[in-house]
Amino acid sequence: MPTRRRTHEERALDTGEAPQEVSCTILFVDIVGSTRLYDTLGDHEGQRIVGAALDRLSDLATAGGGTVIKTIGDAVMCTFENPNDATRCAQAMHQGLAQLSARPDIPVELSGRVGLQHGHVIEKEGDVFGDAVNVAARVVALSQPRQILTTRETVELLDPEHKERAHLVDRRAVAGKQGEQEIYELVRENEQLTMVGSGEELRAALDARMILRHGSQTITVGLTNADVTLGRTDLNDICIDHHRTSRWHAHVTCKRGKFFVKDTSSNGTFVAEEGRDPVQVRREDHPLRGCGLLGLGSVVTADSPTAIHYEVLRSTAPESG
């Protein structure tokens, strides 16, 4: 007869310590770029820098009112009393990793993928267990570099200043939850202007505009509309009904006066800049310049019914370096 798995409460009786159930926000942050760091510098030096990054993330969590529960490989798990503090800390973590990457002894860019979830957990022996932990771990696995992802039920608990910057990006089945969960990205206010200088760069960033056209639909991307979603479901800003198009396929974004397509799909996004061969983008950002076509899941031509035409109308911020 199979042995039944014992609950945390039952195991706690063996030690005499009663587990405590509390409500908190779980935050996972996973360092992106460590593999390339090890390949470039070797195990010893790579581990030294990853250790410094983990220390920086842990210090930021503590300074932001959180509690560091543990590090897991290249990731940090921590808890906060509420999702507002967790969101502010996640933004500080992104900035902290960017500052760390600017050091001359770090030859690759380090960034973070963040997932957070608010809910009830069980505290025992310095660790936490429960549904919120499982959901946060699942959400961080869906996150891309420099993203902060969470679920709708956590977004509903945010203050207006954070809630108004939450954008629906996906619907996914999450282990332990019935049905599909709505996944939201939390975008920092005026994120596209972060680290922009003054003068010419700032004016270019403020004036930058790009037009997206699909059929009779036209959307302007710029400072006031900096994230446009593309995909098969009609909840996207531009809906492409095609079997190779993912439900939540890609984003077109404006960051610091420059334009990018961010692929989040299964089949990739094809970018055909005018005068150039199509390029397939898979799970990464790709710059958009001049004018051209976007194909969600397949190569398109100018007269394809699924083609998205793009055109940058103003010169973007000057290239750095």
pLDDT of residue 203: 59
Task: Give yes or no: residues 197 and 305 share one domain.
Answer: yes
**Domain shared by 124 and 198, yes or no:** no
**At 202, is the pLDDT very low, low, confident or very high (cuts 50, 70, 90)?**
low
Let me know if residue 26 belongs to a domain.
Answer: yes
Model pLDDT for residues 256-304, shown as the tens digit of each residue: 778 999 898 889 999 999 999 999 998 888 999 999 999 999 999 999 9
Confidence at residue 205, expressed as pLDDT on a 0 to 100 scale: 62
Domain that holds residue 70: 20-189
Residues 181 and 261 grouped into a single domain? no
pLDDT for 55-92, tens place per residue?
999 999 999 999 999 998 899 999 999 999 999 999 99
* Same domain, residue pair 125 and 249: no
* Average pLDDT over the chain, rounded to an integer: 84
Single-letter amino acid code for the residue at 182? E
Please check whether residue 56 lies inside any domain of the structure: yes
Is residue 38 one of the residues assigned to a domain? yes
Residues 105 and 178 in one domain: yes
Segment 174-183 shows an average pLDDT of 74
Q: Which of 126, 156, 189 is the C-terminal boundary of a domain?
A: 189
Q: Say what the pLDDT of residue 318 is.
A: 43
Which of 189, 217, 244 terminates a domain? The answer is: 189
Q: Please count the structural domains in the chain.
A: 2
Is residue 5 included in any domain, yes or no?
no
- One domain, residues 167 and 222: no
10 pLDDT exceeds 60? no
Does residue 164 sit in the same domain as residue 136? yes
Among the ranges given (44-58, 146-160, 186-200, 285-299), the one the predictor scored with the smallest mean pLDDT = 186-200
90-119 pLDDT, tens digit each: 999 998 998 888 888 888 888 899 999 999
Residues 60, 74, single domain; the answer is: yes
Residue 4 inside a domain? The answer is no
- What percent of the chain is modeled with pLDDT above 70? 84
67 shares its domain with 106: yes
Neighbours of 319 (CB within 10 A): 6
Q: Are residues 198 and 261 in the same domain?
A: yes
Q: Are residues 135 and 248 in the same domain?
A: no
Look at residue 239 and tell me whether its pLDDT is greater than 50. Answer: yes
Q: How far is CA 83 from CA 87, 115, 117, 207, in A?
A: 6, 11, 8, 34
Cα 84 from Cα 50, distance rounded (Å) = 27
Query: In this structure, are 139 and 53 located in the same domain?
Result: yes
Residue 124 pLDDT > 80: yes
Could you write out the DSSP letters of every residue in 246-270? Answer: -TT-EEEEEETTEEEEEE-SSS-EE
Share of residues in the chain with pLDDT > 90 (%):
51
* Cα-trace Rg, the chain: 22
Q: Is residue 3 part of a domain?
A: no
Q: Are 283 and 267 in contact (CB under 8 A)?
A: no
Question: pLDDT for 21-53, tens place per residue?
Answer: 899 999 999 998 888 888 888 889 889 999 999
* In-domain check, residue 13: no
Q: Are 230 and 240 in contact (CB under 8 A)?
A: yes
pLDDT at 305: 96
Q: What is the mean pLDDT of residues 202-210?
A: 71
Instruction: Report pLDDT for 258.
Output: 85
Q: Read off the CATH number of the domain in which 139 is found.
A: 3.30.70.1230
Domain boundary among the residues 160, 189, 218 is at 189
Nearest in space to 207 (alpha carbons), one of 187, 191, 192:
192
Does residue 206 or residue 278 have the better pLDDT?
278
